[in-house]
């Protein structure tokens, strides 16, 4: 039962400190977190759902997070874990086909050609490869942490990232000049 002066979902006064701190955090970091979610899902609507789910989990744990500087990491971890759960659930319902569905034309306003090519190439990667690349190069996670998050071995992370980067290079037509990623060892 909610208090008469409060929100029924939050169980308290809308002006309490916890709620305000969380609101300020989301206002300050929401855009950056949405970009990370978009890279994980490759779909804006799905990214918004993913971020919302992660923020709901974060809000419930807000009082337990002692180090406020670690909140971004907590939210990113919640997004990755939620995305993996959704991916596993969806994996049972998705069947590959020879023909790709028609997609709406992407608005390229304000994007560089490199960013656009990379975004399209990331969209074509299989789910696990995309997750591994985003965690490694966008979130700058070490391989052992990626292995723990994805539930695979460090060797599998290395080979998955290597195959993904090779595919990105080929798909984006970037060859060996892929910025920020060392060239493959031959």
- Would you call 102 exposed, middle or buried from its count of C-beta atoms within 10 A (0-12, 13-18, 19+)? exposed
DSSP 42-58: S-HHHHHHHHHHHHHHH
> CB atoms < 10 A from the CB of 136, how many?
21
What backbone phi and psi angles, to 5 degrees, belong to 9? -85, -30
Q: What domains, with CATH codes, occur in the chain?
A: 11-96 (1.10.1740.10), 111-176 (1.10.10.10)
Q: Are 118 and 165 in contact (CB under 8 A)?
A: no
Task: Give the C-alpha separation, 60 to 77, whole Å.
Answer: 15
Angle between helices 44-60 and 17-41 (to 10 degrees): 150
pLDDT at 8: 45
pLDDT at 122: 84
pLDDT at 57: 93
3-class DSSP assignment, residue 113: helix
Blockwise average pLDDT, block size 10, the chain, 186 residues: 44 66 93 91 90 93 87 92 82 66 57 70 88 88 90 93 87 56 50
pLDDT at 2: 42
12 membership: H or E segment, kind and range: strand 12-13
Question: What is the pTM for the complete model shown?
Answer: 0.47
């Amino acid at each position: 039962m909610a208090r008469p002066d409060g929100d029924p979902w939050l169980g308290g006064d809308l002006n309490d400190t916890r709620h305000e701190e969380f609101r300020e955090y989301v206002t300050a970091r929401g855009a950056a977190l949405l970009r990370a979610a978009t890279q994980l899902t490759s779909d804006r609507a799905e990214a918004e759902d993913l971020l919302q789910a992660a923020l709901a989990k974060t809000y419930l744990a807000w009082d337990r997070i002692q180090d406020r500087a670690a909140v971004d990491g907590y939210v990113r971890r919640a997004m990755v874990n939620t995305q993996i759960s959704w991916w596993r659930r969806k994996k049972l319902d998705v069947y590959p086909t020879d023909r790709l569905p028609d997609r709406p034309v992407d608005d390229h306003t304000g994007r560089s050609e490199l960013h656009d090519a990379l975004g399209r190439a990331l969209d074509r990667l299989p789910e696990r490869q995309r997750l591994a690349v985003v965690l490694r190069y966008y979130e700058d996670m070490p391989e052992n942490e990626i292995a723990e998050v994805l539930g695979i071995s460090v060797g599998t992370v290395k080979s998955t990232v290597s195959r993904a980067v090779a595919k990105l290079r080929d798909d984006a037509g970037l060859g060996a000049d892929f910025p920020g990623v060392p060239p493959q060892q031959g």
